[in-house]
Structure 1
Amino acid sequence: MTAVGWRALLPSRADYAGLRGSWRADLLAGVTVGIVALPLALAFGVSSGAGAEAGLVTAIVAGVVAAVFGGSPVQVSGPTGAMVVVLAPVLAARGATALALVTVLAGVMVIALGVSRLGRLVGLIPWPVLEGFTLGIAIIIFLQQVPAAIGVPAGGHGSNAAAAAVDALLDARVETAWPALAMAAAVAAIMVVMPRLTRAVPGSIVAVVVVSVAAVTADAAGLFAAPVPSIGALPAGLPAPGLALPTLAEVTSLLAPAATIAALAAIESLLSARVAASQTGGGYDADRELVGQGLASVAAGLFGGMPATGAIARTAVNVRAGARTRLAAVVHGVVLLAVVAVASGVVSRIPLAVLAGVLMVTAISMVHRRTVAAVMRGSRQGAVVFVLTAIITVSVDLIYAVGIGMAVAAFLALRAVSNSAGVHREELPGGAHAGDEWIALLRLDGALFFGAAERVLERVSRVEGARVVILRMSQVDLLDATGAQLLAEVIASLRRQGVTVLLKGIRPEHRRVLLHAGALEEPRVGETVFETLDGAVARARELVAG
């Protein structure tokens, strides 16, 4: 990569070109999104198994690093639901000691993707796959909260959210279930009602404060049969950075999970940046965004945090609050750091059921009914890909879901393109002439590629009662090497039968592949290849008459 190329991936003064006129709006947006991010950071940390502290550290450290080094001016990064879904089974299987190493490894992989200029590949993922992926993540996040929402300690089925939810329901006891369920339901009700009353104050913060105060008061009064499980002790500041030197065996064992996390981080971050760009009318640098997100995960891992990605919901809040530069996301991190420094004791008493309620509402809000309806009504192929991706996301694995969804979408797209290809016999122009019955005018449509060429050209080879065949090629949209080779074989077969084949309207981009396949003979161009239909028909009538 050239020096100019490297500079494009690094921060510059241009990142803050409009700061003089937007700093007030950026400060306000940063404070707003920081308040919104607090309960989510705590909840995602707890839900992943890394702990509330890891969620806060990630929101602070990764939020600031990604803001400075990322490719989107308004992106807000931190722990997200999708990352929780991937990270939870890894920590359940390997323990919390693997958190720092897998986070750093994933970050290095994301940096490598950005340096390799692979950022724009996310645009190749079909829309139904993305929406099915989002639906599956939302279902998993909701199911992951069921144990905490009914007062049952999570565990035993770390790799399967549905199994953990069923297990929790079977183990629930009335005396501990009803307080937790009441807290989760109260949080959900407040979060649903608050936006209808006012949007000046985030509903999640109001819900967390009101329900937590009520729960702590009721617990102190002895109204609950058992103590209410809470977040627990939090540090009054950031921990010191550090990473124990891993062994080769430890690195090797975590490469596969790290690759899964890196792929998800890249996909979700670029999608969030793209959504932000569409909302602001601005742009973003996909490759620099990957470098920034990778550095953010590396930094978060060194401080004891978890892998970070761009957060679509928090980014949307940032945009709606008026953010214009990276200062807003930096302020968001500073606000969270201030909360940790000043109010860690208060935050530590928030009940886990309250955070479960926050994430349940968040999961439901991830699924938009209009979007689901649009996918399901758009086409049968899109609906199949959407449903299949969601099912595999929930039952198997997120990355498998994306891979299989893309493969199925590609197969269905190829089949649709294949079905659009065809051959049609047409009447000769210019009125009837003697001998026209010996001329066959065939129009080839669509794509002559490996999935359709044999079926289409077989019909050409079966033409009967013709001494001259004119193939109209102008409507051929795609021609690959397979299609050109099969066309050459059909032409050769017809000529062996004494049939002359004339080609009309070959597109310039198809001429080279036809020449290499032997379907065209350069010295005969002008005798058997024509630009106009009138010229081809005139030549065919001469051959029949002669």
Structure 2
Amino acid sequence: MSTADPDGPAPRVTSAARAHPGALLVAARRRFTALAPRRDDYTGLARSWRRDLLAGLTVAIVALPLALGFGVSSGLGAAAGLVTAVVAGAVAAVLGGSHLQVSGPTGAMTVVLLPVVARFGPESVPVVAIMAGGIVVLAGVLGLGRLVAYIPWPVVEGFTVGIGVVIALQQVPLALGTPAAHGTNAALVAARTLTAVDWSAAVAPLALVALSVALLVVLPRVRRGLPASLVAVVVATLVAELAHLDVDRIGALPRSLPAPHVPVIDATTTSVLFSSALAVAALAALESLLSAHVADGMADDLPRTRPNRELVGQGLANVASGLFGGLPATGAIARTAVNVRSGARTRLAALSHAAVLAGVVYLAASWVGRIPLAALAAVLLVTAARMVDVSTAAAICRSGRSGATVFVATLVVTVVFDLVLAVEVGVAVAAVLALRAVARASGLHREDAPDEVVHADDERVLLHEHIAVYRIDGALFFADVRRFLDEIALVSDVRVVVLRLSSVSVLDTSGAHALAQIVADLQHRGIVVLLKGLRPQHRRVVESVGVLDVLAHEHHLFDDLDEALAHARSHVRRERATMGAAASPGTGPGPTKPEEP
């Protein structure tokens, strides 16, 4: 197999390649081959298979109540969550770009799915999963996996905390044993549910929630290796059975995985569900890549995730889940972390986790069906609480106003609106604040020209009074054009302006257009403009918008400051000789003709 890195820069198409189309086909074949499974995915398996199998069992114990709970929270039922964990978990483990990623239903995805179920019905979810999977696969093939690196840390943390808040709000109806109120926003549904609850009937489910939460909090402190979530669910179920509590249960589960089925996907369905599928795809890609990034940080000695292959694997996992009637899936940060901490070294761990969950479907469906929904609500409440890292949030807020603004904006939009919009808003706010910081760091500075004394009709004149040297630092781009125009427009008492451009780090089309306006305006007022130090990477944009065309002469572009100043002095001498000794220093000259070099 090829060892080409699919996530590296695209190969440059040379003239030789254009002359031989076969070379392009070979390059494309290598790129697509690099996105497929390979033999070295299981390097070291002979030494680590025991640890991998044990890690897979541990993750399955953690994943079982989460899969059931997220299935219930999504509106499709516990069976759909379990099917998703089995099918998507297995496909992503084999085809994904991470050695340690564990995939399945997640709380973030249920947040996105609730409005879809409310609007289009449960039958639309598998279709959305298939469509979203196709979009994610396309993103991986196009090499978009590295874009996640551009998401700022405050956005990621605000997004994570917001998801935790939404997941907790979603558990209010289950914890109270009350039907959820109508609506798609978790906060509004929780508030309406609280106003309509029958508190006498809510005592039993609340007692199970309290018992389960207590076990989830205490057991890890007693013994860290205990599967607290599974123990809590089992204890709550036994209490409900022995006390004959009248609480809602998961209900009957199928005793086998459903057969794959291709839902009807026509033009009408595609157009109606496309926006939902796009949102699901964006979330699946984002959460999976973030989870894989966490895994890479926890296991530095293993090969790092291939982002584009991870997208392809997650996309195909979503397609497979939809074909089996499951939910859209993503990489799950909590389960992936458990997998790493349990000693997993290869993909066998995630694959065996899916196999254990499949065994639950075939061997323990009737027992699982007796689990109280209140116990699952407790597991998800604790999971949500652990997603809120108070110390991290405090560190971001202390770091400065910009980071705090981005964090809070992302958090609020996540809770009030939806997750994809939250990421978009967070990135947009971060970009605007970053642009403002860059603009503030940029500046226009007037420098003194070197003193030179010349004689003109027996009068001593300081030549630098007629020459203004301006240095532009940092960025000259759309965010700072108006300030730049306003400052340079104040020039009125000189005959030559030298603009030093060597310190300009960023020059976009708007900045180049502003530069052309400045040159044209100064020259219209009779002030000669010389440009010094134009960087090669900026020359194309400058030429494109006509900056060089508006210069009075083609030789008014310099690479050396001394040469530019010598040219400026020469111009002033010629002008003084033309105007006569009667011209006083500091008087603004009238329009002049373009000079010769």
Bucket of the pairwise TM-score, normalised by the shorter protein: over 0.9
AA aligned opposite 2:516:
A
Pairs within 5 Å for 1:410-421: 410-421=431-442
- Residue in structure 1 matching 2:298, options 259, 279, 287: 279
In structure 1, C-alpha distance between the alignment counterparts of 2:202 and 2:116, rounded to whole Å: 28
Partner of 1:494: 522
- TM-score, length-normalised on structure 1? 0.93
The reply to whether residue 506 of structure 1 matches residue 534 of structure 2 is yes
The offset of 1:63, in angstroms, is 0.4
- Residue in structure 2 matching 1:45, options 71, 74, 78: 71
Deviates more, 1:68-77 or 1:202-211: 202-211
The offset of 1:440, in angstroms, is 1.4
Deviation string, structure 1 residues 43-79 (Cα, Å, up to 9, x no partner): 1011111111111111111100000011111110000
Deviates more, 1:407-416 or 1:465-474: 407-416
SS at match of 1:452: helix
The reply to whether residue 439 of structure 1 matches residue 467 of structure 2 is yes
The offset of 1:110, in angstroms, is 1.8
CA contact (8 A) 1:100 1:243 kept: no
SS at match of 2:98: coil
- TM-score, length-normalised on structure 2? 0.85
In structure 2, C-alpha distance between the alignment counterparts of 1:396 and 1:93, rounded to whole Å: 16
Partner of 1:200: 225
- Residue in structure 1 matching 2:387, options 342, 362, 366: 366
Partner of 2:135: 109
Partner of 1:167: 192
Pairs within 5 Å for 1:391-402: 391-402=412-423
Partner of 1:83: 109
- Relative to 1, partners in 2 of residues 1:156 and 1:514: Cα closer, same or farther, differing over 3 Å? closer
The offset of 1:409, in angstroms, is 2.7
Partner of 2:402: 381
The reply to whether residue 231 of structure 1 matches residue 256 of structure 2 is no
Partner of 1:210: 235
AA aligned opposite 1:531:
D
Pairs within 5 Å for 1:447-462: 447-462=475-490
Pairs within 5 Å for 1:506-545: 506-520=534-548, 527-545=555-573
- Relative to 1, partners in 2 of residues 1:462 and 1:348: Cα closer, same or farther, differing over 3 Å? same
Partner of 1:96: 122
Query: 5+ residue gaps in structure 1?
Result: none
AA aligned opposite 1:250:
T
In structure 2, C-alpha distance between the alignment counterparts of 1:244 and 1:459, rounded to whole Å: 64
The offset of 1:429, in angstroms, is 4.8
In structure 2, C-alpha distance between the alignment counterparts of 1:522 and 1:4, rounded to whole Å: 49
Pairs within 5 Å for 1:108-507: 108-157=134-183, 159-219=184-244, 224=245, 227-281=246-300, 282-429=303-450, 434-507=462-535
Whichever of the two has the greater Rg, that structure is 2
Q: How many aligned positions are there?
A: 539
CA contact (8 A) 1:447 1:453 kept: no
SS at match of 1:233: coil
Return structure 1 stretches of 4+ with deviation > 4 angstroms.
429-433, 521-527
SS at match of 1:96: coil
- Relative to 1, partners in 2 of residues 1:535 and 1:170: Cα closer, same or farther, differing over 3 Å? same
The offset of 1:195, in angstroms, is 2.1
In structure 2, C-alpha distance between the alignment counterparts of 1:234 and 1:81, rounded to whole Å: 21
The offset of 1:527, in angstroms, is 4.8
In structure 1, C-alpha distance between the alignment counterparts of 2:452 and 2:164, rounded to whole Å: 65
CA contact (8 A) 1:454 1:483 kept: no
SS at match of 1:459: helix
Deviation string, structure 1 residues 189-239 (Cα, Å, up to 9, x no partner): 2212222222211221221122222222122xxxx4xx1211111122212
Alignment root-mean-square deviation, CA: 2.3
CA contact (8 A) 1:438 1:465 kept: yes
By relative contact order (CA 8 Å, sep 6+), the higher-ranking structure is 1
CA contact (8 A) 1:515 1:522 kept: no
Deviation string, structure 1 residues 244-297 (Cα, Å, up to 9, x no partner): 435543343322222221121111111111221222223112221111111111
AA aligned opposite 2:442:
A
In structure 1, C-alpha distance between the alignment counterparts of 2:292 and 2:449, rounded to whole Å: 55
- Relative to 1, partners in 2 of residues 1:463 and 1:332: Cα closer, same or farther, differing over 3 Å? same
CA contact (8 A) 2:70 2:105 kept: yes
AA aligned opposite 2:71:
G
In structure 2, C-alpha distance between the alignment counterparts of 1:122 and 1:489, rounded to whole Å: 38
The offset of 1:23, in angstroms, is 1.6
AA aligned opposite 1:89:
P
